[in-house]
Amino acid sequence: MALKRIIPCLLYDGKGLVKTVKFKNPSYIGDPINAIKIFNEKEVDELILIDIKATKEKRKINIPRIAEFAGECFMPFAYGGGVKTVSEFYELFKNGVEKVVVNSLIFEEPAVIKEAVSKYGSQAVVACVDFKKNLFGKKSIYSFSGHSIKYNMPDFIKYLEEELGVGELFLHNVDAEGTWDGFDNEFVKQITDLTSLPVIACGGAGNLQHLKDILYTSGANAAAIGSMAVYSKKGMGVLINFPQRSNVIIE
């Protein structure tokens, strides 16, 4: 059986950690370094940190700060947000980032992604696919900035895998993000049936059963957790959290 992973996905606004609901209304969570240290103690599988404002604010990546985060991580560390050039891929990899998550760059400068894959390998580049129901109830691709993308999902997945050469897909459900209501298992299964790439499902994790369902019924290789990683329970206070692997993962 392929390795199954549970991955905290932390949202960063350039100053501290925040948590959103359906990509809106960010609430302050705390300092990234403190969270990383706790995740080290809990021996998490991997860690993803996304700067949710870098692209919108057209802000340069704070390489020294990201290097500080990566230096604290005892686990593989992935970063996304504001990456625009191959040289920025290089700087991130040089400073301890193992994977770069791309989203807006897919639509703005796909040639940069192809070059980065060529130089650093497909395993180092993760494509983030944000999806959301449109007015007709059909799931559509969205950019992280919230704009609808006119792209057929099967063709888009094929494009990411075969044309850009990315090594992993990060499926982010905008409608479920921060809700604790569970993953969209059916849709994730549709995507995993389309690709041979490893798939990380994100958006909606609220309990252990949600994690078991997405990992063992949808074909997803990994479950990313947001609210479950930073709150004690739904509607309760901040508490850096990580479920015991033995309660979810079948080794």
Rounded CA-CA distance 198/180 in Å is 24
**Average pLDDT of the segment spanning 2-29:** 95
> What is the pLDDT at residue 142?
78
Give all domains of the chain, ordered by start, each with its CATH number.
5-246 (3.20.20.70)
- Those residues whose C-beta lies under 8 Å from the C-beta of residue 251, and which sit 6 or more positions away, are none
- 236: confidence class by pLDDT, cuts 50, 70, 90: confident
Q: What digits encode the pLDDT tens for the residues 147-178? A: 556 678 999 999 999 999 999 999 999 999 99
Residue 41, classified by CB atoms within 10 Å of its CB into exposed (0-12), middle (13-18) or buried (19+), is exposed
**Average pLDDT of the segment spanning 138-146:** 71
> What is the pLDDT at residue 134?
80
What value does the mean pLDDT of the chain take? 94
**Average pLDDT of the segment spanning 201-227:** 97
- What DSSP string describes 141-163? EE-TTS-EE---HHHHHHIIIII
> What is the pLDDT at residue 2?
67
> What is the pLDDT at residue 145?
53
Q: Is 130 a catalytic residue?
A: yes
Q: Which of 130, 175, 181, 193 is catalytic?
A: 130
Of all residues in the chain, the percent with pLDDT exceeding 90 is 85
**Average pLDDT of the segment spanning 60-66:** 96
The two three-digit tokens of residue 120, written as one number: 């650093």
Q: Please, are residues 243 and 211 in contact by the beta-carbon 8 Å criterion?
A: yes
Cross-strand pairs, 50: 11, 80
- Those residues whose C-beta lies under 8 Å from the C-beta of residue 15, and which sit 6 or more positions away, are none
Cα angle value 212/218/223 (rounded, 5°): 50
> What is the pLDDT at residue 138?
84
Maximum pairwise Cα distance, the chain: 46
Rounded CA-CA distance 100/98 in Å is 7
> What is the pLDDT at residue 150?
65
